[in-house]
Every structure is written in C-alpha cells, then in structure tokens.
Structure 1
Amino acid sequence: MQQALVIENLTKRYKDFTLDHISFSLPQGTILGIIGENGSGKSTLINALLGLIPADYSQLELLGKDIAAHPNLIKQDLAVIFDDAGYDENFTPLQIGKFLSHVYKNWDADSYRSYLKRFDLPAKKRLKTFSRGMKTKLEFAIAFSHSPKFLIMDEATNGLDPVFRDEILDLLREFSEEENHTVLIASHITSDLDKIADYVAYIHHGRLLFFQSYDELQNEYGIINCKKSFLDNLNPEDVVYYRKEDYSYRVLVKNRYSLKQIFQDVEIHSADLEEIMLFYAKGEKLE
C-alpha cells in the first residue's frame, strides 16, 4: 500500500515547548485524526508539514515526494483548511474563485459555484458580512473545487452547527473512498473522529503517545468499572491506565476480548476517543 505521508523524527524546538521526534506513516485513501489537548503540538506538526515553520527531521514525504525538494508540485495536490481562513474581508467568494483559478491548475469553476449554492453561500457578498461558520463553509467549497489528493484540516469544524458538521463528515468519508485521496484532520471534537477516522494519532505535551488504526483501538481497548480489590487482581500488562473516582475505579484495559473470557461476569465496554484521551492524559499506571 502506498503511503500518503511519511514522517520520521520530526522535531521542532521552542524555548518552552518541543515537538519531540514524531514518526509515523499514513496509507493513501485513509483519514487520520490527530487528537490532543490545546498546546499539545497538533498545529505545530501541521505547520511543519506545510513548511510554514522550519523543523528538523530524518524524512518528510507527502504523496511520495520530499516536501523540501518538491513544494510546488505538492501544493497543487494539497488542500489546507485552518480555523482562520485569512482571506481579505473585502473579497467576495466569486473574486476568490477567480483568483484561485490562476493558482490551481485543476480549478473547477463549475464545481466551486455548485458548492457555494449547496452551502448557501452568497457569491457576491463580501467576506466581512459572513459568520464564522459561513467562512468555514467557504473553505470547504474551495478545498473540494481543485481536485486535491491530500486534504489537511486544523480545527476546521469549529463554529459549525451540528447539521452542517455532519454533512462535512459525510463529504470527507466520500472524498477518502477514492483510493488516492487522503485526509488529515486535527480536532478536539473527538466525537467527529469517532465517526470517520481510519487512524488516530494522540499527541500529548509534544510527544506522540500512540498511532493506531481506529479499528485496533476499538477492538483492543475497553473500560472496566470496579472496586480496588478487583483492580489489584488485574495483570499490570493488561492495564493501560486507571482513574480513581468517588466510589470506584475506572480502568482502561487492553486485550478486552481475552479479559472477557476470563472475567465473564464483568462488563467491559468499548472506549471512545475522548475516554481514551482522558485516560492517557490523567490516568495512573498500575505498578
């Protein structure tokens, strides 16, 4: 399987923060969700991938090309949506479309107008009259109108109402179903990623704590609510993290199907991304 993104030992050092030796590979035709607290390094990683900030690395390839050696070729096949668009507020969507037709060789004006209509965006009104959600919708209309092979989104669904956010998730899944289309989305809305992610990367304080397929996370991890006596009898190798609550313990375990065979009367329910993230960020290790 071809890799859409290859990162080896990507490091970015600031005075008070370090994105520390990030390494993973992402297959083409998949959706990667990057999760992490505010300030964990998600945006730093994306900015380094895009060459917006300098960083050190052993290897950095996007769509099979070295990012430093072929930036212009890569940009033609790349769409990026940030939380803040950055277009001149006096421009209209039609003016932006005309400008971008000279930027992207695959720009499809008919498709762009179709998305503007689909998203109920007035083509001739200035951006300064748009709400935050409308500006985000415009970003998606732009992204889908020049046939990108790789879509990168940094907190791009912030400010969208639940109905339109769900429509965007459907669009992303549809987009990624074509074999050469790949999506990377950094978001703190983990429920969105539960719906569409094929892979999940969790960055915490600048370090990559895990990179796994979503199916592996769902099949491997489980949560047990129990008393201290039960926790003490668990094999530490099966316990990822535990959290003490008022009257019980919540335990994130791996090998949940094997444990279910051993503890047949114990409920072990699956863990969503928010629960896993909280265990990794605030949980304790069983000694």
Structure 2
Amino acid sequence: MSEVLSVQGLCKYYEKFRLENIAFDLRPGAITGFIGRNGAGKTTTLKSLLNFVHPDAGEIRFFGKTFGGNETEIKSRIGFVSGGVHYYTMKKLKAITAVTARFYPAWDEGAYRNYLERFSLDENKTPGELSEGMKVKYALTLALSHGAELLLLDEPTSGLDPVSRDELLEIFLDLAERGTTILFSTHITSDLEKSADDIIYIKGGRVVERGAVGDFLARYRVARWTGEAPAGALMGVKRDKTGSSALVAADFAAGEGVILEDADLETVMVHMEREGAQ
C-alpha cells in the first residue's frame, strides 16, 4: 500500500530562511504531531505540501501520486485547516457551506450536521459573529464533512478552551480508529501526548527528530542539580529558582546530587531549543 503522504528532499528558499531537505512519511491511520518553535518552518512545510507556496526542490506524493495531473483528485481526499481562518465576514455559515460542499463529491450532510451540533455552531450566524475558537471549529467541521482520508491541520487547537481541545482530540482519536490519517502542528505539546502516535520535530528549517512519540521520549531524560554541573553530555542547560537542568541521553550516568526524571515533549523542546543544543 502506498504511503498516505510521502515527502522527500523538500526545500524552500527565502532570503532569510531556508527549508532544507524535509523528509517524512505518514503511516495510514496514524496521528502525527508536527512540532517546533515559531519560525522553524512548520507552516511553510504544510503550505508547500499543498502547493500554496512552490517548493524549490523535492518530491511530494499523496496516495502515491504527485499533484501534476492529480490535484483535483488529491484535494478531494484531504482536508486542510490553517491557523489563520478567514471567511467572508458577512456571509452566513450555511451559505459558505453550500458553496464548499459543491467541490466535494463525497460530501456527507449527515456528518456536517453532526459536527455542527457537536461544536455548538449556529449556521445562521456569520463568521464575523464567531470567536476565533468557533471559527476554527467551523473550519474543522467543513474539513471533517467530506470523508477526508488525510487531515493536514496547522494549529487546529489554537484559540480553543481546554474542554473544546479535549473534545477535538477525542474526535481525532475516533477518526484515526476509522483509518483517517492526521498530521497537525501545535505548540500545545500536552495535546500530542494525549493523542499522537508519531512526532516530527523541525528546528531551523530541518527535521531533527521523527518517529513514534514513545520511542522519541525514551531516548532522553532530564537531569536536575544544584551547584556545579555534572560531567557528561548536557543538552540545553537552563536555570530556574530551584537549580539547573539539562536534557541527557537515557543512559546518562547520574552522579551524586543529580536527579534524573522522565522527559515530556515540552521539556525536550525547551532544552533542545536552547543555544548550543544539538
């Protein structure tokens, strides 16, 4: 079976930023989190996948096919939601939906009605009457209502309250169980720990880590100490009011006065983004 999405050697060059040799595959039915700090290249990558910006090099295949000659078919099988959601502010949602549905032969009106109710959306309102969080919910409702086999989501939980975020993650898990593949970027790493199977970590325009979330976290621990730094390879040393900490390899030999703790995604990111981290 072809990969749902396969990216090889993706490059995009700007005057002050370079996306370099991005490569990854998405496993069918898996939820993959795309992480990295602001400006790392997450949004540029996602937009390059859909040809919203034109890559300078690389090969992108959806369901084993490139966009050349297959763009309409591919886009009918995927859903995309960007963090910046913009609609005609004075048009009612039901009018926007009617236009959108015409582009998707597999549009499921029953699913659409279900998500309207689930997200407490009133289709007689206009986008101008919605909060930013509700705009995201509406964009997701459209993306989820045409049987998309692949969802590409750029900060989908941005602007949502904790209860709505949790509800959305539950939907993601339900979709993945039914075979939908999901790639979503986020700064809320706790959301990934609740839902993601795999992780792609991008730093400075390059993928520095990828693989199963559990395997990724199992490679590291956090060392904490007061006073003199311990001997050994320390990544991203930082201080707080209780002492100092650094990311270390899982087999790091802790000396006296050093406490080793399991690492979560946020802690790994914070330390790896410190100056001098590899």
So what's the TM-score if we normalise by structure 1?
0.88
| Aligned equivalent of 1:18 | 18
| Aligned equivalent of 1:225 | 224
Residue 252 of structure 2 corresponds to residue 253 of structure 1: no
Aligned partners of 2:93 and 2:124 also within 8 Å: yes
Deviation by residue 1:222-252 (Cα, 9 ceiling, x = unmatched): 11113576621x3x4xx5x140426744131
| Aligned equivalent of 2:186 | 187
SS in 1 for 2:110: helix
CA RMSD in angstroms comes to 2.3
Aligned residue type for 2:237: R
Deviation by residue 1:195-235 (Cα, 9 ceiling, x = unmatched): 11111112122121211210102222111113576621x3x
Aligned residue type for 1:198: D
- What is the distance in 1 between the residues matched to 2:273 and 2:252? 24
| Aligned equivalent of 1:199 | 198
SS in 1 for 2:56: coil
| Aligned equivalent of 2:211 | 212
State the shift of 1:263 in Å: 7.0
The number of aligned residues is 277
Residue 173 of structure 2 corresponds to residue 173 of structure 1: yes
Residue 67 of structure 2 corresponds to residue 67 of structure 1: yes
SS in 1 for 2:169: helix
Deviation by residue 1:95-152 (Cα, 9 ceiling, x = unmatched): 1222122110110112212211221111212221111111111111111111000001
- What is the distance in 2 between the residues matched to 1:129 and 1:249? 47
1:44-63 equivalence runs, <5 A? 44-63=44-63
- What is the distance in 1 between the residues matched to 2:47 and 2:227? 44
Q: Return 53-62 or 103-112, whichever deviates more.
A: 53-62
- What is the distance in 1 between the residues matched to 2:236 and 2:128? 48
Name the % identity. Answer: 32
| Aligned equivalent of 1:269 | 261
Unaligned runs of 5+ in 1: none
Aligned partners of 1:2 and 1:28 also within 8 Å: no
CA spacing shift, 1:285–1:227, aligned 2, 3 Å: farther
Aligned partners of 2:236 and 2:272 also within 8 Å: no
Structure having the larger proportion of residues in helix: 1
- What is the distance in 1 between the residues matched to 2:67 and 2:264? 34
- What is the distance in 2 between the residues matched to 1:229 and 1:86? 52
Aligned residue type for 2:89: E
- What is the distance in 2 between the residues matched to 1:16 and 1:230? 36
So what's the TM-score if we normalise by structure 2?
0.91
SS in 2 for 1:194: helix
CA spacing shift, 1:285–1:14, aligned 2, 3 Å: closer
| Aligned equivalent of 1:143 | 143
SS in 1 for 2:167: helix
- What is the distance in 1 between the residues matched to 2:276 and 2:120? 48
Deviation by residue 1:164-212 (Cα, 9 ceiling, x = unmatched): 1110011011111223x11111111122112111111121221212112
SS in 2 for 1:65: coil
